[in-house]
Amino acid sequence: MNPAAPDFAARIARLFVYPVKSCAGVELREAVLTETGLDLDRAWMVVDSDHDFVTQRELPRMALIRPQIKFSEVVLRAPGMLALHLSIDTVEEPVRVRVWDEEVPAFDMGAIAAQWFTDFLGRPLRLVRFDPEHRRPSETDWTQGAEALNQFSDGFPLLVTSTASLELLNEKLAAAGHAAVGIERFRPNIVLEGVEPHDEDRLELLRIAGEDGEVVLRAVKPCTRCPIPNIDPATAEVDPIVTDTLQGYRRNERMRGKITFAMNAIVVEGLDRTLRVGQAVSADWKFD
């Protein structure tokens, strides 16, 4: 293990969870850390008539579906739609669904939820809840053999980036005459401030000091970017300028030339502890 970097002194600037995979996120002041990431993150997912998952990649209007977390329910709102109330503790019949190349057990959320998504997104869809009894691990080639569990996330329980990384992108967009974009396009869970652009690429262990004890995370894999950052979360309009700009300076040789932005991370220590905006973060540098 490398010694803690004396010049690394960050803070948590923002926290996000995404209750329904590929719908808008919920920004929080604090969030409980579970074995699958932040509580309720990607607990629900939209599937088609073949039980395959769907995302903003094929349905950009999913960006307009905005969840709100209340005490015992998640409330979904979308333009022109009445609110859909989802009880956190209520599901209907079990079902098998596919996320990427995995078939996993889940629970259907019923006809009302199915009709709501079908009406708003314009094709037959259903909403499912992840089965918490199922253990869906991340790729152990990246986790150094550790079992890091997920609900419906693409592959890892947490995504970490920084305000500085976004600022650098926005500087490059501005230099080319384009408007700035928000961090919401990159769908992070934890956003750090007080670091240099893309410092998150070079970190190994992140230590977050809290009132209920220390949380330790491990950055394990650069996040390769699909076209979702090109979707404006306010309008669902698609413009390739974000990934076109990233092509100029964020091609990652380690990832076979793909664009990367942010780091996937796993939980090493601190289950059931609370992350809060403003908490101090120290880290170990990683040297390849």
pLDDT at position 288: 52
Map out the domains of the chain with their CATH numbers: 10-285 (2.40.33.20)
**Sign of the torsion formed by the C-alpha atoms of 83, 87, 90 and 94:** positive
pLDDT at position 145: 92
Tens digit of each residue's pLDDT, the chain (288 residues): 444 444 678 999 999 999 999 999 999 999 999 999 999 999 999 999 999 999 999 999 999 999 999 989 999 999 999 999 999 998 999 999 999 999 999 999 999 999 999 999 999 999 999 999 999 999 999 999 999 999 999 999 999 999 999 999 999 999 999 999 999 999 999 999 999 999 999 999 999 988 888 999 999 999 999 999 999 999 999 999 999 999 999 999 989 999 999 999 999 999 999 999 999 999 988 865
d(CA 56, CA 230): 10
Give every CB contact of residue 132 below 8 A, 6+ residues apart in sequence: none
d(CA 251, CA 248): 7
